[in-house]
Each structure stands twice: as C-alpha cells, then as structure tokens.
Chains A and B, each alone.
Chain A
Amino acid sequence: MRRRRWPLLSLLAFGYAFLYVPILLLIVYSFNESRLVTVWSGFSIKWYRELLHNQQLLEAAWLSVRIAAVNATLAVVLGTLAANALVRHGRFRGRNAFELLLTAPLVMPDVIIGLSMLLLFVAMQHGLGWPDGRGFTTIAIAHITFSTAYVAVVVRTRLAQMDASLEEAAMDLGARPLTVYLRITLPLIAPALLSGWLLAFTLSLDDLVIASFVSGPGSTTLPMVVYSSVRMGVSPQINALATLIVAVVTLAVIIAGVTSLRGSRTQRRR
C-alpha cells in the first residue's frame, strides 16, 4: 500500500502548487520596482507607499470594513437563531421551506441576489419611503441576508455535535432554559460563532457584484475600487494590497490554529 502512494501525493502537490503559485507570484511582484508585472527590475516598496497614499482606496477600505463588521455581527445573531431552530425545534411546520430559504443563498448566483435586492429597495423606497437612497444600510442588509445562511451552516454543525448532557444537568439542577442557553450552550458553541463571524466578515469584504447593485453614489466599497482599477489592466498597487490581505489572513489562521491547539490541550489536561 505504502509504495503506491506517490502518484496520489504528486497529484496533491500539483494541486497545492496550482492553488498557491498565483498568490506567491502576486506577492513577489508587489515588491517589483517596475510597473510592468513581468519584468523584474529590482526590489522596492514604493507600491506600498503609493497604496497608503491612495485616498480613494483607503476610504473604500474603511467603508468595507465597517459594513463587514456590522454584517458579521448581525449575521451571527440571525444565523445562530436559525441553527437553534433547525437543531432544537425538530419538525416544525414550514421546516422544509425554512431550510430551502437557508440553503438557496449559498449557491444563488450573485447577479440574481444583487438585482433582486436592488429591485426590492427601489420598490420599498417608492412604496414606504425607506430606505432613503442606497449606501451603507442597503449593502449591509444585502450582505446579512446571504451571510446568515453561511453562519447557520457553521453553527448548526457545532450545535448538532454538542454534548447534550451538560445542558440536561443544568436543567435538572433547576436552571431556566434561557439561563442554560446563555451560560452553557453559548460558551460551548463560541468557537463556531467566532468562525461564523470571521466567515461573514470575509464574505462581505470580498463581495463585488451584490454591492455594485445595491450601492449608491458616494458608497464605493473596496472591491468596487479594486475592480475598476483591475479593469484598466495590471496595477502593482493591487499586488501590494493582495500581499497585505494574504498577510493578515495567514496571521489570523496561524493565531486561530495555535489557540485551538492550546484549547484542545487544556481540555485534555482536565
């Protein structure tokens, strides 16, 4: 058996190379002196300096981060409620439709979500007078809608795997259901809430299509700025931005990995 593994392992190596070489090239050429992405003309950090002086891009990034944070927080609340409903409330009436509504946003093409949300906002503004114009609020609402579905998947898995005996013990000792939920259940599913929050944050920060539909004048998000500069061709500033994003993500993953490793070790020690 052991000897036969090398074809599989070389395929695995090829797969990882395919996933990582483009990202590594982006990083390498962000330090290139020349504007031409293909010609190496010496090490330089001038694109990072230009990036930090790009007022339009910085403002867009700040808007995106704020939307992403609001989105992630509300999506975690709604997604956790939905996961509670699916795991704790059994076969309630309308469950199939509920699950359908929670699964569809995961695969629905962005253009359909974007167009439909915009048409809703236009109709609401026409009929109810709210929302008045489009921008932060409309983008956040659109993002919460699809992020909730992702959070629900993450939290639901964790909730279903959870050991129910701790909750039962608290219940037997006379704690009210809400107390049990807040003091036993929530701490136990906290890692899932955190990963759901981070996932929702990333999805929002990454979205170009939906935000383009539901944004208004004066509310340009980071992906919209990146998109318009990428359409003009290759730009080393975008390489610098990519490098910063990769650095942040890698750091976050390493921290998360170390924390969860330490967490599982302390748990074993107990």
Chain B
Amino acid sequence: MPAPQDNPPARRQRLSRVVNIGLPYLWLGVFFLLPLLIVLQISVAEPRLGQPPYTPLWEWLESGVLQIQVNLQNFMLVWEDSIYLTAFLNSLWVALVCTLLCLLIGYPMAYAIATAPPRWRIPLLMLVILPFWTSFLIRVYAWIGILKTNGLLNHLLLALGVIDTPLNILHTQTAVYIGVVYSYLPFMILPLYANLSRLDPTLLEAAADLGCRPLRAFVRVTLPLSLAGIVAGSMLVFIPVVGEFVIPDLLGGPETLMVGKLLWTEFFGNKDWPLAAALAIVLLGLLVVPFVLMQRLERRMEDSA
C-alpha cells in the first residue's frame, strides 16, 4: 500500500475509517460502556427519596470545594448478608450444572449432525435453531404446563403407573435446570457443530489404520480437537445463565436464589437502585474471568484461521 498522502484516495480511506470504525465505536461507547461506568458510580451512592433516588458522587459546596462521596455500604451489605452470597454461589452452581448438562446433550447432537450425510446437515441444524426464533418467554412458559403438580408430565407418569403421587417439580431448582438447559441448548450446539464440521476426517481414518479403536480415537483425536468448540459453547451458556432472570422467576421456587432475580427485586420491588447497582458490579466482576477466557480463545482461533 502506498504511504498515506493528502490525495483523494487517502482522504477517502480516512473517511471510510471514520465511518466504519468511528460510528459503531461511538454508539457502543455511549450506550454500552458509559452505562457500565454509571452503574459503578451509583453502586457507591446512597439511596435517598427523590428523583433520581440516589446521592450524587460529587457536589460543589457553596465554599467552592468539590465534595466526593464514596459509600461502600452496599458492597459491605452484599458481602455480609448471607442472602446475597448464597444467591451468587447458587447462580454460579446453576450455571455450572446447566453448562455440563448442555454439553452432555449438545455434544452428541452436534457430533451426529456434523457426521450426517451432507445434504441432511443444514436441515438438521435449522431444526436446532428454529426454537430459538420463537419467543424465549413462551418456551419457558411451556414448561409451566408440563411440570405443574396437575400438569402434563404428572398426568403421563400417573397414567403409566410410574408414580403414585404427583411429583413437585415446578417451583424447585430442578425446574430451573430443565428450563435453562432447554432454552440454552442451541447456544451449545451451534459452536460445537461449527467446530466439529471442520474437523479433518482423514485424521480419524489414520488413527483407525494404525489400529486405534473408535472410542479411543474419539477420546485422543476428536475430543482434543473440538476443545475450542467446547469452551466457546460453554461460555455462551455459562455467562448469561449466571445472570438469568426469567427462568428462575417463572420456574424456580423460594429456595432458588439467583442473583438476576435478586437484582430485579432490589430494583423494582425495594427501589434500592444503589444496591441493585452494587449487585450488578459484583456480577460483572465474576463474569470477567470467563469472558476474557472466551475472548482470548476467539482471537487465537481467528489467528490460526
């Protein structure tokens, strides 16, 4: 490329940069990054009555002195009140269990689709994506009718004689597991499929030629090569599930404490904006590690591609 000079092509190139890089940068800076900084600011404010319902971070006093007020009470409360700590631990636990369950169901599915005859792959994949296009809320709602005490699942099991008394599944943590796995399964299958379908089949043939049994070949060849897909899919499930609100709210019960629901209650129920902001900041802090992991992996795959 020639050195940039102030001739028309160089100017056009600069304009293209300003538009392509600048506009999305500006939008995401103002409407994504800045809001997170404001959350940080309000997490160290005190709640008060009025509009807005929190104290300002800085104030010019009449004497011309800038007064900065930082209040760490909200974070102390999150640390000391066991309800918040329990909610955070339980959210991480639910996300972990569901990620493993999605992997357990999603991996064989992705593998079966990736190894299906080529003309079947796209329709099979479309069938995985299709539920994702129908309303998330309504798909969660579907499980209420199935899992209720007098719901469809209990009717079926009673009719088959498997159980004598109806099971109580709705409004328990089990229902949350089912709802999360159901809703997030496509997010696991898609990156796994993308990874597995690019796998070179000659590697497995070579392993077979050298006398390696199929299961061993899978464990020693396919599994390590699909690690990138496993991590990508797991992160796409794990990170949003930690902060999930709809599923624990509709399917969970009183013992399913999750931080997304708690934040919602603090904000809409108790109108304690600073405490809700503090919960968001702690949640964000917890998710930074898996997010950076995902980001690194993505960049490595991009470089190798």
Contacts and interface: CB of A to CB of B under 8 A. Distances in A.
Are A and B subunits of one complex? yes
Contacts, number: 241
Q: What band does the interface of chain A fall in when counting residues whose beta carbon is under 8 Å from B?
A: 35 or more
A115 B267 contact: yes
B212 interface: no
A207 B280 CA distance: 19
A135 B27 CA distance: 19
Interface string A227-240: 10011011000100
A12 B109 contact: yes
Contact of B31 (A11, A82, A145): A145
Contacts of B150: 38
A241 interface: yes
Interface stretch (A44-52, A103-111, A185-193): A103-111
Contacts of A106: 236
6 contacts: A8-B112, A23-B139, A25-B146, A78-B23, A120-B35, A223-B135
Contacts of A102: 24, 28
A15 interface: yes
Nearest to B268: A212
Contacts of B42: 119
A206 B32 contact: no
B71 to A, nearest CB: 16
A253 B277 contact: no
Interface of A: 1, 4, 8-9, 11-12, 15-16, 18-20, 22-23, 25-26, 29, 37-38, 78-79, 81-82, 84-85, 88-89, 92, 94, 98-113, 115-117, 119-120, 122-123, 126, 141-142, 144-145, 148, 152, 176-178, 202, 205-206, 208-209, 212-213, 223, 226-227, 230-231, 233-234, 238, 241-242, 245-246, 249-250, 252-253, 257
A-B complex: 9 closest residue pairs judged by Cβ atoms: A109-B243, A116-B35, A82-B24, A22-B142, A120-B35, A107-B239, A85-B20, A101-B28, A12-B112
A177 B12 contact: yes
A148 B13 CA distance: 23
Nearest to A26: B142
Interface in B102-137: 105-106, 108-109, 111-113, 115, 124, 126-128, 130-131, 133-137
A226 B142 CA distance: 12
Interface in B189-244: 214, 235-236, 239-240, 242-244
A25 B133 contact: no
Nearest to A256: B126
Nearest to A254: B126
Interface residues of B, number: 86
B174 to A, nearest CB: 15
Given A20-B131, A85-B20, A107-B236, A11 B112 contact: yes
A26 B21 contact: no
A231 B250 contact: yes
B271 interface: no
Contact of B39 (A23, A81, A88, A116): A116
B28 A120 contact: no
